[in-house]
Structure 1
Amino acid sequence: MSSSAAVDTEADLVCELDSARGIVDALCSVRWKRFQDALVELSEHGIVIIVEETGCLQAKVYLQRELFIKYDYGATGRPRFGVSLGLFIDCLNTFSVPGRSNVLELRYPGPDMQLMLRSVDSPDAGIYAEIRTIIPETISWDYNFEPAGSIPLSFTVKSAALKEAIDDLEWPGSSIQISLQPAPPSVIFRGEGHGDLQIDFNYYANTDLLIAFSCDRQVSHRYKYKFLRATTSNIPASVLKDNRGSKATIGRGGMLKIQHLVSVAKPSVPHPHIDSAGYQQPSRIAYIEFFVKPEVEESNADDD
């Protein structure tokens, strides 16, 4: 047996990407400070990258196995390892050269439990990198999202509009109240501090911005601004340019979930997951979810 075959047998995962650019965009979306550690979870269904902050903010990037041109999974269970998010992004950027075909192989674990990356399609030069992994800490809070009722409390708004609204809410200098009301159907963002600012998204009046709306009762919760801003501060320019929608859902206890979609298809290169009209199938999309805990008000601190 060759040495490469032996490594393949021992590896939990060997996979290949036809473009690192989309993965970089997805990971940058969940990077809200300079130094962050990420938990990477492997499974037969794909890769999940999880980052969190002080038990109040958590983000997950889902990379489904259909995103990869090769996905050989040989582990039992779901291996986990920790890695520096910034270092991972920097390494992936090294393999993303505009105008060149760059198939990237990821392999885990290496001989010293490292994450190994290498280019596999360049006839004249090769790029190789190893990232030291760490033993992951236990996720400090339960991010299991539960619906608030039988009818979802949710809305979908154009990503650029959501980012602009949250950016504008910085100057009042306070936490942000998000309210949903069924009549008239609308979403209200309100900040009070050095000044007052209220931003309304009215469903019937702004269907070009507020794409979808579901609410059967009035609900209102407050969220710390810095955590709310982290959900949109690094949305890729490609998402804003494509004018896509981001979905927000309020779950049990006021837990806020915000979802973005990031394309990982190689630009201007045909792929079996892209049809003749250029429509990208869902398998070429990375799913990003943010979970933000609400601020607990004194009046309902003891409520379930």
Structure 2
Amino acid sequence: MLFTAELIDFKIVYSVLKAVNLSEYAILRPMEEGLKLTLEEIKCTETSVYFPCNMFSTYEIYSTEDITFKISLKVFTECLNIFGDEGNPSLKLIYEDIGGPLCLKMKHLEENIIVDCDIKTFSTEDFQSISLAHECNLNKMVVNANIFQEILYRLDNSADEVNLGLSPDPPYFTLIATGRAGESFVTISKHSEEVSVYQCQKSAQAQYLFSYLRQLLKVMNYASKISISMGETGLLGIQIVISSEEKQMYVEYYVTSLVTE
């Protein structure tokens, strides 16, 4: 036995994984602080979902070695949705041996129905677990999720690129989308009641493919806070905080820039 974890109600877990289902495969890494799921690398982006250990009713790691394995994200989410929207099913994850399957034991509490699923796992020899958080250490803003989601909807949906800027001077945070109809832009002041943290060492602007940011709109439906950070190279980090029954899970999203100023 290498890893086991139990979750009483996993509907929010299914919803978030369904929203970030941008890749065929995902890397699972049980750690002492929680379970990390990273989408297999997509060009110019990296997406990870963190499930802190306090989200689980039980969470045990029985190995001192690093545990990582790859699974089909589509199969995983389909298994989690076996009971659909009915009841509040419980989930138990079991990973017994390296190369063995990830076992899912799901129980419908009201109907007392139990479903077992074994998901094939794959080696992660080519996978390198590198945190990009340290590269986004130049500027940071924490804002309420609903306002950032509204901003993305306001911008010209036909735009291919979006320019994001953080500055110690007004207007502080800017987003400019360039599309066929011209430019559309929005700003947020660091003094806005929607902003809880604003740390800006120096002005920085970078350009990104707008499609990469729009990918996050589905996840934002479940978010309470969003942290936006930028590094010297223009690497953009977006951490989405999702609260469920006084517990929090996180989605971290990194995207490389097209142009940096």
CA shift, 1:116, in A, is: 0.7
Q: Match of 1:169?
A: 155
Structure 1 stretches lacking a partner, 5+ long: 1-10, 266-279
Match of 2:64 among 48, 54, 76: 76
CA shift, 1:55, in A, is: 3.5
Residue 238 of structure 2 corresponds to residue 262 of structure 1: no
- Letter aligned with residue 201 of structure 1: I
- Letter aligned with residue 135 of structure 1: S
Q: How many residues align structurally?
A: 259
3-state secondary structure, aligned to 2:114: coil
Is the 2:145–2:220 Cα contact (8 Å) retained in structure 1?
A: no
- Letter aligned with residue 160 of structure 1: N
Residue 230 of structure 2 corresponds to residue 250 of structure 1: yes
Match of 2:2 among 12, 32, 35: 12
Q: CA RMSD in A?
A: 2.6
CA shift, 1:22, in A, is: 2.0
Structure 2 stretches lacking a partner, 5+ long: none
Is the 1:104–1:119 Cα contact (8 Å) retained in structure 2?
A: yes
Match of 1:287 among 250, 254, 257: 250
3-state secondary structure, aligned to 1:160: helix
Q: Match of 1:178?
A: 164
What does 1:207-286 align with in structure 2 at a 5 Å threshold? 207-230=192-215, 232-235=216-219, 237-239=221-223, 244-265=224-245, 280=246, 284-286=247-249
- Letter aligned with residue 68 of structure 1: F
- Deviation string 1:210-269 (CA, Å, 9 cap, x unpaired) is 333211321111111121222x22225343xxxx2211010231111111112343xxxx
3-state secondary structure, aligned to 2:218: coil
For the residues of structure 2 that align with 1:216 and 1:45, how far apart are their CA atoms?
31
What does 1:126-205 align with in structure 2 at a 5 Å threshold? 126-136=114-124, 138-139=126-127, 142-147=130-135, 152-184=138-170, 186-194=172-180, 195-204=182-191
Match of 2:102 among 115, 120, 135: 115
For the residues of structure 2 that align with 1:17 and 1:238, how far apart are their CA atoms?
19
The 1:101–1:168 alpha-carbon spacing in structure 2 relative to 1, beyond 3 Å, is closer
Is the 2:83–2:108 Cα contact (8 Å) retained in structure 1?
A: no
Q: Match of 1:86?
A: 74
- Deviation string 1:131-173 (CA, Å, 9 cap, x unpaired) is 1122236247954232566xx5111222122122223335342
For the residues of structure 1 that align with 2:3 and 2:129, how far apart are their CA atoms?
27
CA shift, 1:114, in A, is: 0.9
For the residues of structure 2 that align with 1:216 and 1:135, how far apart are their CA atoms?
42
Is the 1:146–1:252 Cα contact (8 Å) retained in structure 2?
A: no
For the residues of structure 1 that align with 2:84 and 2:4, how far apart are their CA atoms?
19
Residue 106 of structure 2 corresponds to residue 102 of structure 1: no
CA shift, 1:101, in A, is: 4.2
Q: TM-score, normalised by structure 2?
A: 0.87
The 1:44–1:143 alpha-carbon spacing in structure 2 relative to 1, beyond 3 Å, is closer
- Letter aligned with residue 28 of structure 1: K
Percent identity of the aligned residues?
21
Is the 1:25–1:236 Cα contact (8 Å) retained in structure 2?
A: no
Question: Which range is displaced more, 102-111 or 255-264?
Answer: 102-111
For the residues of structure 2 that align with 1:29 and 1:121, how far apart are their CA atoms?
23
More strand by share: 2
